[in-house]
A and B are shown apart, each in its own frame.
Chain A
Protein backbone atom coordinates (compact mmCIF):
# COMPACT_ATOMS: atom_id res chain seq x y z
CA UNK A 1 0.00 0.00 0.00
CA UNK A 2 1.15 3.53 -0.58
CA UNK A 3 -0.20 7.05 -0.30
CA UNK A 4 -1.93 8.59 -3.29
CA UNK A 5 -2.31 12.24 -4.28
CA UNK A 6 -5.24 13.91 -2.49
CA UNK A 7 -5.48 11.18 0.13
CA UNK A 8 -7.38 12.34 3.22
CA UNK A 9 -7.44 9.19 5.34
CA UNK A 10 -4.77 6.90 6.74
CA UNK A 11 -3.54 4.11 4.48
CA UNK A 12 -5.62 0.95 4.54
CA UNK A 13 -4.56 -1.28 7.41
CA UNK A 14 -2.82 -4.44 6.33
CA UNK A 15 -1.88 -5.69 9.78
CA UNK A 16 -4.36 -6.55 12.53
CA UNK A 17 -3.24 -3.63 14.71
CA UNK A 18 -3.46 -1.06 11.93
CA UNK A 19 -6.98 -2.19 11.00
CA UNK A 20 -8.04 -1.66 14.60
CA UNK A 21 -6.31 1.72 14.63
CA UNK A 22 -8.26 2.74 11.52
CA UNK A 23 -11.54 1.69 13.17
CA UNK A 24 -10.59 3.65 16.28
CA UNK A 25 -9.67 6.67 14.19
CA UNK A 26 -13.06 6.56 12.43
CA UNK A 27 -14.87 6.19 15.77
CA UNK A 28 -13.03 9.18 17.27
CA UNK A 29 -13.70 11.19 14.12
CA UNK A 30 -17.46 10.63 14.52
CA UNK A 31 -17.38 11.86 18.12
CA UNK A 32 -15.24 14.87 17.25
CA UNK A 33 -17.34 15.89 14.25
CA UNK A 34 -20.49 15.70 16.41
CA UNK A 35 -18.90 17.86 19.09
CA UNK A 36 -17.66 20.35 16.50
CA UNK A 37 -21.08 20.54 14.84
CA UNK A 38 -22.75 21.14 18.19
CA UNK A 39 -20.25 23.83 19.19
CA UNK A 40 -20.56 25.56 15.79
CA UNK A 41 -24.34 25.53 16.11
CA UNK A 42 -24.16 27.07 19.59
CA UNK A 43 -21.74 29.70 18.38
CA UNK A 44 -23.99 30.75 15.50
CA UNK A 45 -27.04 30.64 17.79
CA UNK A 46 -25.40 32.90 20.34
CA UNK A 47 -24.43 35.42 17.68
CA UNK A 48 -27.63 35.51 15.64
CA UNK A 49 -30.61 34.43 17.72
CA UNK A 50 -33.01 37.09 19.05
CA UNK A 51 -34.29 34.64 21.69
CA UNK A 52 -31.04 34.53 23.69
CA UNK A 53 -31.41 35.29 27.39
CA UNK A 54 -28.88 38.10 27.98
CA UNK A 55 -29.54 38.30 31.73
CA UNK A 56 -28.45 34.82 32.87
CA UNK A 57 -25.89 35.30 35.64
CA UNK A 58 -25.33 31.75 36.82
CA UNK A 59 -26.85 28.28 36.59
CA UNK A 60 -25.66 25.41 38.76
CA UNK A 61 -27.62 22.86 36.74
CA UNK A 62 -25.96 24.02 33.51
CA UNK A 63 -22.51 23.84 35.06
CA UNK A 64 -23.16 20.34 36.37
CA UNK A 65 -24.43 19.13 32.99
CA UNK A 66 -21.53 20.57 31.04
CA UNK A 67 -19.08 18.84 33.39
CA UNK A 68 -20.76 15.43 33.47
CA UNK A 69 -21.51 15.14 29.74
CA UNK A 70 -17.87 15.78 28.58
CA UNK A 71 -16.70 13.36 31.26
CA UNK A 72 -18.95 10.65 29.83
CA UNK A 73 -17.77 11.44 26.30
CA UNK A 74 -14.16 11.14 27.46
CA UNK A 75 -14.89 7.78 29.06
CA UNK A 76 -16.33 6.56 25.76
CA UNK A 77 -13.09 7.69 24.08
CA UNK A 78 -10.72 6.37 26.74
CA UNK A 79 -11.86 2.74 26.88
CA UNK A 80 -11.21 1.78 23.25
CA UNK A 81 -8.04 3.87 23.27
CA UNK A 82 -6.51 2.07 26.24
CA UNK A 83 -7.73 -1.29 24.92
CA UNK A 84 -5.87 -0.69 21.65
CA UNK A 85 -2.80 0.66 23.43
CA UNK A 86 -2.41 -2.47 25.52
CA UNK A 87 -3.17 -4.71 22.54
CA UNK A 88 -0.21 -3.10 20.75
CA UNK A 89 2.08 -4.14 23.62
CA UNK A 90 2.09 -7.64 22.25
CA UNK A 91 4.26 -10.17 24.06
CA UNK A 92 3.47 -13.20 21.91
CA UNK A 93 6.42 -15.34 20.86
CA UNK A 94 7.78 -14.32 17.48
CA UNK A 95 8.02 -16.78 14.58
CA UNK A 96 10.72 -14.79 12.79
CA UNK A 97 13.25 -12.13 13.78
CA UNK A 98 14.61 -9.65 11.27
CA UNK A 99 17.31 -7.12 12.08
CA UNK A 100 17.13 -3.73 10.39
CA UNK A 101 20.21 -1.51 10.40
CA UNK A 102 19.95 2.07 9.16
CA UNK A 103 22.86 3.55 7.28
CA UNK A 104 23.39 6.80 5.47
CA UNK A 105 21.49 6.42 3.16
CA UNK A 106 20.16 2.88 2.82
CA UNK A 107 18.69 0.12 4.95
CA UNK A 108 20.43 -3.16 5.67
CA UNK A 109 18.32 -6.22 6.51
CA UNK A 110 19.60 -9.35 8.21
CA UNK A 111 17.65 -12.58 8.53
CA UNK A 112 19.12 -14.99 11.03
CA UNK A 113 17.65 -18.22 12.16
CA UNK A 114 19.13 -21.49 13.30
CA UNK A 115 20.00 -22.71 9.78
CA UNK A 116 20.35 -19.50 7.85
CA UNK A 117 22.13 -16.18 8.10
CA UNK A 118 21.72 -13.72 5.24
CA UNK A 119 22.17 -9.98 5.06
CA UNK A 120 21.64 -7.54 2.22
CA UNK A 121 21.43 -3.82 1.52
CA UNK A 122 18.35 -2.09 0.19
CA UNK A 123 19.07 1.00 -1.91
CA UNK A 124 16.52 3.24 -3.57
CA UNK A 125 16.31 2.76 -7.32
CA UNK A 126 16.98 5.91 -9.35
CA UNK A 127 14.73 5.53 -12.36
CA UNK A 128 13.56 7.79 -15.17
CA UNK A 129 9.99 9.07 -15.04
CA UNK A 130 8.70 6.57 -17.64
CA UNK A 131 9.78 3.61 -15.50
CA UNK A 132 7.08 1.26 -14.12
CA UNK A 133 8.64 1.52 -10.65
CA UNK A 134 7.32 4.02 -8.13
CA UNK A 135 9.36 7.22 -8.03
CA UNK A 136 11.55 7.50 -4.90
CA UNK A 137 9.78 4.52 -3.35
CA UNK A 138 11.08 1.37 -5.02
CA UNK A 139 14.27 -0.38 -3.99
CA UNK A 140 16.65 -2.84 -5.59
CA UNK A 141 16.27 -5.58 -2.93
CA UNK A 142 12.95 -5.85 -1.15
CA UNK A 143 12.58 -7.37 2.29
CA UNK A 144 10.66 -10.59 1.69
CA UNK A 145 8.61 -11.90 4.61
CA UNK A 146 5.99 -14.58 5.29
CA UNK A 147 2.29 -13.86 5.90
CA UNK A 148 0.52 -15.17 9.01
CA UNK A 149 3.69 -15.11 11.08
CA UNK A 150 4.53 -12.98 14.12
CA UNK A 151 7.53 -11.03 12.88
CA UNK A 152 9.80 -9.17 15.26
CA UNK A 153 11.91 -6.39 13.75
CA UNK A 154 14.97 -5.27 15.70
CA UNK A 155 15.91 -1.82 14.48
CA UNK A 156 19.19 -0.06 15.02
CA UNK A 157 21.49 2.31 13.23
CA UNK A 158 25.12 2.19 12.18
CA UNK A 159 25.69 5.95 12.09
CA UNK A 160 23.05 8.65 12.73
CA UNK A 161 19.38 8.61 13.78
CA UNK A 162 16.98 7.13 11.27
CA UNK A 163 13.42 5.89 11.66
CA UNK A 164 11.96 2.76 10.09
CA UNK A 165 8.29 3.12 9.24
CA UNK A 166 5.70 1.21 7.23
CA UNK A 167 2.40 3.11 7.63
CA UNK A 168 0.13 0.45 6.22
CA UNK A 169 1.23 -1.97 8.94
CA UNK A 170 1.04 0.75 11.58
CA UNK A 171 4.68 0.38 12.60
CA UNK A 172 7.37 2.96 13.15
CA UNK A 173 10.41 3.01 15.36
CA UNK A 174 13.54 5.10 15.62
CA UNK A 175 16.83 3.56 14.55
CA UNK A 176 19.26 4.75 17.20
CA UNK A 177 22.94 3.75 17.32
CA UNK A 178 23.59 1.60 20.39
CA UNK A 179 19.93 0.73 20.87
CA UNK A 180 17.98 -2.20 19.50
CA UNK A 181 14.32 -1.21 19.33
CA UNK A 182 11.80 -3.93 18.66
CA UNK A 183 8.61 -3.84 16.60
CA UNK A 184 6.11 -6.63 16.28
CA UNK A 185 3.74 -7.15 13.38
CA UNK A 186 1.62 -9.81 11.74
CA UNK A 187 -0.26 -9.60 8.48
CA UNK A 188 -2.54 -12.14 6.84
CA UNK A 189 -2.39 -10.32 3.48
CA UNK A 190 0.22 -10.90 0.77
CA UNK A 191 1.39 -7.80 -1.00
CA UNK A 192 4.02 -5.10 -1.35
CA UNK A 193 4.08 -2.39 1.31
CA UNK A 194 6.05 0.84 1.23
CA UNK A 195 7.52 3.14 3.82
CA UNK A 196 10.09 5.90 4.10
CA UNK A 197 12.78 6.97 6.52
CA UNK A 198 11.10 9.08 9.18
CA UNK A 199 13.94 10.84 10.96
CA UNK A 200 16.15 13.46 9.33
CA UNK A 201 19.49 11.87 8.63
CA UNK A 202 21.31 13.93 6.08
CA UNK A 203 21.08 14.90 2.44
CA UNK A 204 19.47 11.70 1.16
CA UNK A 205 17.01 11.27 4.00
CA UNK A 206 14.10 11.40 1.52
CA UNK A 207 15.72 8.78 -0.69
CA UNK A 208 16.01 5.72 1.53
CA UNK A 209 12.65 3.99 1.25
CA UNK A 210 11.50 0.71 2.74
CA UNK A 211 9.75 -1.98 0.71
CA UNK A 212 8.31 -5.13 2.27
CA UNK A 213 7.06 -8.02 0.18
CA UNK A 214 4.80 -10.45 2.00
CA UNK A 215 4.34 -13.92 0.51
CA UNK A 216 2.83 -17.16 1.87
CA UNK A 217 5.02 -19.14 4.26
CA UNK A 218 5.58 -22.05 1.85
CA UNK A 219 6.91 -19.66 -0.82
CA UNK A 220 8.95 -17.79 1.78
CA UNK A 221 10.68 -20.99 2.93
CA UNK A 222 11.46 -21.89 -0.71
CA UNK A 223 12.90 -18.38 -1.19
CA UNK A 224 15.07 -18.63 1.93
CA UNK A 225 16.28 -22.13 0.97
CA UNK A 226 17.21 -20.84 -2.51
CA UNK A 227 19.16 -17.96 -0.91
CA UNK A 228 21.02 -20.30 1.40
CA UNK A 229 21.94 -22.60 -1.47
CA UNK A 230 23.35 -19.64 -3.41
CA UNK A 231 25.72 -18.69 -0.60
Chain B
Protein backbone atom coordinates (compact mmCIF):
# COMPACT_ATOMS: atom_id res chain seq x y z
CA UNK B 1 0.00 0.00 0.00
CA UNK B 2 1.32 3.47 -0.88
CA UNK B 3 2.44 5.66 2.01
CA UNK B 4 2.29 9.43 2.46
CA UNK B 5 6.11 9.58 2.02
CA UNK B 6 5.46 9.08 -1.66
CA UNK B 7 3.64 12.43 -1.82
CA UNK B 8 6.41 14.26 0.05
CA UNK B 9 9.05 12.83 -2.27
CA UNK B 10 7.10 13.67 -5.42
CA UNK B 11 6.45 17.25 -4.32
CA UNK B 12 10.02 17.89 -3.15
CA UNK B 13 11.55 16.50 -6.30
CA UNK B 14 9.50 18.68 -8.63
CA UNK B 15 8.67 21.89 -6.85
CA UNK B 16 12.10 23.16 -5.81
CA UNK B 17 12.77 26.91 -5.90
CA UNK B 18 9.31 27.76 -7.21
CA UNK B 19 6.77 30.19 -5.84
CA UNK B 20 4.31 27.71 -4.39
CA UNK B 21 1.75 30.03 -2.86
CA UNK B 22 -0.21 30.11 -6.11
CA UNK B 23 -1.46 27.34 -8.36
CA UNK B 24 0.93 26.93 -11.31
CA UNK B 25 -0.25 24.66 -14.14
CA UNK B 26 3.23 23.53 -15.21
CA UNK B 27 4.46 22.72 -11.69
CA UNK B 28 1.19 20.93 -11.05
CA UNK B 29 1.50 18.79 -14.18
CA UNK B 30 5.05 17.85 -13.13
CA UNK B 31 3.80 16.84 -9.70
CA UNK B 32 1.00 14.76 -11.23
CA UNK B 33 3.44 12.97 -13.52
CA UNK B 34 5.85 12.35 -10.67
CA UNK B 35 3.10 10.95 -8.45
CA UNK B 36 1.87 8.75 -11.32
CA UNK B 37 5.35 7.35 -11.93
CA UNK B 38 5.94 6.72 -8.21
CA UNK B 39 2.61 4.92 -7.90
CA UNK B 40 3.48 2.88 -10.96
CA UNK B 41 6.77 1.83 -9.31
CA UNK B 42 4.75 0.56 -6.36
CA UNK B 43 2.86 -1.72 -8.77
CA UNK B 44 -0.53 -1.11 -7.18
CA UNK B 45 -3.76 -2.41 -8.61
CA UNK B 46 -6.46 -0.08 -9.94
CA UNK B 47 -8.52 -0.56 -6.77
CA UNK B 48 -5.52 0.17 -4.50
CA UNK B 49 -4.65 3.35 -6.41
CA UNK B 50 -8.25 4.57 -6.13
CA UNK B 51 -8.34 3.83 -2.40
CA UNK B 52 -5.01 5.67 -1.91
CA UNK B 53 -6.42 8.73 -3.72
CA UNK B 54 -9.71 8.49 -1.84
CA UNK B 55 -8.02 8.30 1.57
CA UNK B 56 -5.78 11.27 0.82
CA UNK B 57 -8.67 13.33 -0.54
CA UNK B 58 -10.51 12.68 2.71
CA UNK B 59 -7.64 14.18 4.75
CA UNK B 60 -7.00 17.20 2.50
CA UNK B 61 -7.35 19.52 5.50
CA UNK B 62 -4.23 17.90 6.97
CA UNK B 63 -2.28 18.25 3.73
CA UNK B 64 -3.29 21.94 3.72
CA UNK B 65 -1.33 22.40 6.94
CA UNK B 66 1.76 20.78 5.47
CA UNK B 67 2.04 22.21 1.96
CA UNK B 68 1.59 25.76 0.60
CA UNK B 69 -1.70 26.70 -1.07
CA UNK B 70 -0.56 26.13 -4.66
CA UNK B 71 0.61 22.59 -3.93
CA UNK B 72 -2.50 21.77 -1.90
CA UNK B 73 -4.75 22.76 -4.79
CA UNK B 74 -2.68 20.61 -7.10
CA UNK B 75 -2.86 17.59 -4.79
CA UNK B 76 -6.59 18.07 -4.25
CA UNK B 77 -7.10 17.98 -8.02
CA UNK B 78 -4.92 14.87 -8.33
CA UNK B 79 -6.72 12.89 -5.63
CA UNK B 80 -10.16 14.06 -6.70
CA UNK B 81 -9.64 12.81 -10.25
CA UNK B 82 -8.32 9.43 -9.13
CA UNK B 83 -10.57 8.66 -6.14
CA UNK B 84 -13.11 7.01 -8.43
CA UNK B 85 -11.89 5.02 -11.40
CA UNK B 86 -13.83 4.74 -14.63
CA UNK B 87 -12.58 3.28 -17.93
CA UNK B 88 -11.57 5.85 -20.52
CA UNK B 89 -13.46 6.56 -23.70
CA UNK B 90 -12.99 3.59 -26.03
CA UNK B 91 -12.83 4.78 -29.66
CA UNK B 92 -13.83 1.29 -30.86
CA UNK B 93 -17.31 2.07 -29.51
CA UNK B 94 -18.07 5.72 -30.28
CA UNK B 95 -21.83 5.31 -30.68
CA UNK B 96 -24.61 5.46 -28.19
CA UNK B 97 -25.07 1.73 -27.69
CA UNK B 98 -22.30 0.56 -25.34
CA UNK B 99 -23.55 -3.04 -25.01
CA UNK B 100 -20.71 -4.29 -27.20
CA UNK B 101 -18.18 -2.35 -25.10
CA UNK B 102 -19.42 -4.17 -21.99
CA UNK B 103 -19.42 -7.56 -23.74
CA UNK B 104 -15.97 -7.17 -25.30
CA UNK B 105 -14.39 -6.19 -21.97
CA UNK B 106 -16.01 -9.19 -20.26
CA UNK B 107 -14.79 -11.58 -22.98
CA UNK B 108 -11.29 -10.06 -22.84
CA UNK B 109 -11.23 -10.59 -19.06
CA UNK B 110 -12.26 -14.23 -19.38
CA UNK B 111 -9.70 -14.86 -22.11
CA UNK B 112 -7.00 -13.07 -20.10
CA UNK B 113 -7.52 -15.17 -16.96
CA UNK B 114 -7.73 -18.34 -19.06
CA UNK B 115 -4.39 -17.56 -20.69
CA UNK B 116 -2.53 -15.97 -17.78
CA UNK B 117 -4.23 -17.29 -14.68
CA UNK B 118 -6.62 -15.79 -12.13
CA UNK B 119 -3.95 -13.78 -10.28
CA UNK B 120 -2.40 -12.04 -13.27
CA UNK B 121 -2.46 -8.34 -12.45
CA UNK B 122 -2.98 -6.87 -15.90
CA UNK B 123 -6.26 -8.72 -16.38
CA UNK B 124 -7.68 -6.41 -13.74
CA UNK B 125 -8.28 -3.61 -16.27
CA UNK B 126 -10.77 -5.73 -18.22
CA UNK B 127 -12.47 -6.87 -15.04
CA UNK B 128 -12.88 -3.30 -13.76
CA UNK B 129 -14.04 -2.04 -17.16
CA UNK B 130 -16.66 -4.80 -17.40
CA UNK B 131 -17.79 -4.15 -13.82
CA UNK B 132 -18.15 -0.42 -14.58
CA UNK B 133 -19.93 -0.85 -17.89
CA UNK B 134 -22.09 -3.93 -17.52
CA UNK B 135 -25.24 -3.99 -15.41
CA UNK B 136 -24.97 -6.56 -12.62
CA UNK B 137 -27.78 -8.65 -14.14
CA UNK B 138 -25.81 -9.00 -17.38
CA UNK B 139 -22.63 -9.99 -15.49
CA UNK B 140 -24.52 -12.66 -13.53
CA UNK B 141 -26.05 -13.99 -16.73
CA UNK B 142 -22.65 -14.11 -18.45
CA UNK B 143 -21.13 -15.92 -15.44
CA UNK B 144 -23.94 -18.52 -15.48
CA UNK B 145 -23.50 -19.04 -19.20
CA UNK B 146 -19.78 -19.59 -18.81
CA UNK B 147 -20.33 -22.10 -16.00
CA UNK B 148 -22.90 -24.02 -18.00
CA UNK B 149 -20.77 -23.83 -21.17
CA UNK B 150 -23.46 -21.88 -23.00
CA UNK B 151 -21.51 -18.65 -23.55
CA UNK B 152 -21.99 -17.49 -27.18
CA UNK B 153 -18.32 -16.80 -27.79
CA UNK B 154 -15.29 -19.14 -27.47
CA UNK B 155 -13.12 -18.10 -24.54
A residues neighboring B (CB under 8 Å): 91-97, 99, 101, 110, 112-115, 117, 119, 149, 152, 154, 156, 158, 173, 178-182, 217-218, 221-222, 225
Contacts and interface: CB of A to CB of B under 8 A. Distances in A.
Given A110-B135, A156-B99, 5 more contacts: A97-B132, A152-B86, A180-B98, A180-B133, A225-B54
A218 B135 contact: no
B99 A91 contact: no
Given A91-B89, A93-B86, A158-B137, A114 B97 contact: no
Contacts of B45: 114
B136 A221 contact: no
Contact of A181 (B86, B98, B131): B98
Contact of B135 (A99, A113, A173): A99
Given A115-B50, A221-B58, A180 B135 contact: yes
Given A115-B54, A221-B83, A93 B135 contact: no
Contacts of B57: 217-218, 221
A101 B135 contact: yes
24 contacts: A91-B89, A92-B89, A93-B88, A96-B84, A96-B86, A99-B133, A101-B135, A113-B85, A114-B50, A114-B85, A149-B84, A154-B98, A156-B99, A156-B135, A158-B137, A179-B99, A180-B101, A180-B133, A180-B134, A181-B96, A181-B97, A182-B96, A217-B57, A222-B58
A115 B48 CA distance: 8
A113 to B, nearest CB: 5
User: Across chains A and B, which 10 residue pairs bring their CB atoms closest together, nearest first?
Assistant: A114-B47, A180-B99, A114-B85, A180-B98, A97-B132, A114-B46, A114-B50, A93-B88, A94-B86, A115-B47
Nearest to A111: B84
B113 interface: no
A166 B54 CA distance: 29
B128 interface: yes
B11 interface: no
Contacts of A221: 54, 57-58, 83-84
Given A101-B137, A154-B98, A156-B135, A114 B89 contact: no
Contacts of A115: 47, 50-51, 54
B35 interface: no
Nearest to B99: A180
Given A91-B89, A221-B57, A180 B137 contact: no
Contacts of B27: none
A115 to B, nearest CB: 5
B89 A93 contact: yes
A176 B60 CA distance: 42
B98 to A, nearest CB: 5
A173 B96 CA distance: 10
B1 to A, nearest CB: 13
B31 interface: no
B95 to A, nearest CB: 9
B71 interface: no
B80 interface: yes
Interface in B128-155: 128, 131-137
A137 to B, nearest CB: 25
B28 interface: no
Given A92-B89, A152-B86, A113 B50 contact: yes
Contacts of A112: 131-132, 136
